[in-house]
Structure 1
Amino acid sequence: MSTTFTVDFFCSVDGYGMAEGWPGYWGKEGPELIEDRMRTFAQDQVLVFGATTFREFREFVVEYDEPYYNSLNELPKIVFSSTLEQPLGWNNSTVLNEDAVTAIERLKRTTAVPMRSHGSISLNRALLAAGLVDRLEIMVFPAVTGRAGAKALLHGGAELDLELVESTVLDGRTQKLVYIPHLHGEIPEDAGPQRRNRSGQ
């Protein structure tokens, strides 16, 4: 029994997950983007959060009205935190007070339901560095936020080689890129002889 872990990240062209003074979705929300989110969260999966992102989404689903928020409410959720306690104020949520890397490695081996984490910068940086992420889905919005940008997932993190498996343009402007990440310098176990030879191994 094993499963996959997907990191799902929204960012500007310069790699920032948010920017002071900019609206949600960097002002680029469109029907195809929302349809993509609805398809994404309609899947059978467990959502994984760090404490800060969990608190933010717990408020978002009450204060705002997006069609896919019903799915967020219904899906099972895990939040890693040493301070949050039950009840968590968001249905179908469980808190784990343990090391996230150790827990996700165990859950990937012992459960069959896919896991997905959106945002959660510190958590997902650590999971990428540990080689526990199977898919990296990046939604790149057509904006450069410059000095206003913050919460960059990939800045200062692990070095990665990315294998592009999907590329989609939504609403004619926002690009969804789906990668299989590999820690730089490591050769995937399923790499064939030709690929290994090209890498000099």
Structure 2
Amino acid sequence: MVLGATTFRQFVAMLADADAEPEVRDPWVTRMLDMPTTVVSSTLTEPLDRPDATVVGGDAVEAVARLKEESPVPLRSHGSLTLNRALMAAGLVDRLQVTVFPVITGRTGTDPVLGGAADYDLELLEQRTLDGHTVELVYRPTPHR
């Protein structure tokens, strides 16, 4: 798993409660807790608050490209819009997972999640309904031509 510094701090805070009662923890939380984590940051230093967490400095795109070449398993990036936008622009994203929550907020003027990004064609690879309402979609992005 690859995270930016801010997302890592949010991740640690979110999982702090999950650590307290492992018998009631969702399986995805257990997976995330057990997953080695690389934090791309110019502000954080080791040691971090999570076991198996490593800080990588420097250019995030170069760091992730290197990790992608070295890793025997696929990498996952969670939460950091800045990091994910940069990885998309560099062509380092093989799959894009979108979770659709059916809520109408009534607000206007909110920015799109990938606003300002290049145009991509999305090939649907997987889809599933999680709870009868929420839908998880997995796409393969390719730059639009």
Alignment TM-score > 0.5, same fold: yes
Hey, what does 1:104 align to over in structure 2?
64
Hey, what does 2:83 align to over in structure 1?
123
Number of residue pairs matched by the alignment: 139
Matched, 1:169 2:123: no
Greater strand content: 1
The Cα of 1:153 is off from its aligned counterpart by 2.7
Q: TM (normalized to structure 2)?
A: 0.86
1:138-194 Cα distance to aligned partner (Å, 9 max, x none): 111001335388674312222111011112122111111110000111xxxxxxxxx
Root mean square deviation of aligned Cα: 2.0
> Per the alignment, do residues 143 and 110 of structure 1 end up closer, same or farther by CA in structure 2, a change over 3 Å counting?
same
1:70-149 aligned within 5 A = 70-147=30-107
Task: Provide the rounded CA distance (Å) in 2 between the counterparts of 1:100 and 1:178.
Answer: 23
Structure number with larger C-alpha Rg: 1
Letter in 2 for 1:92: D
Any conservation in 2 of the 1:79–1:96 contact (CA below 8 Å)?
yes
Hey, what does 1:157 align to over in structure 2?
117
Task: Provide the rounded CA distance (Å) in 1 between the counterparts of 2:12 and 2:47.
Answer: 13
Greater mean deviation of Cα atoms: 125-134 or 147-156: 147-156
Q: Which runs of 5+ in 2 are unaligned?
A: none
Letter in 2 for 1:100: A
Hey, what does 2:15 align to over in structure 1?
61
Task: Provide the rounded CA distance (Å) in 1 between the counterparts of 2:109 and 2:12.
Answer: 23
Query: Partner of 1:117: helix, strand, or coil?
Result: coil
Instruction: Tell which has more relative contact order, 1 or 2 (C-alpha 8 A, sep 6+).
Output: 1
Deviating beyond 4 angstroms after TM superposition, the runs of 4 or more aligned structure 1 residues are: 148-152
Matched, 1:49 2:9: no
Task: Provide the rounded CA distance (Å) in 2 between the counterparts of 1:130 and 1:111.
Answer: 18
Task: Provide the rounded CA distance (Å) in 2 between the counterparts of 1:81 and 1:126.
Answer: 14
1:36-70 Cα distance to aligned partner (Å, 9 max, x none): xxxxxxxxxxx110111110010111134642323
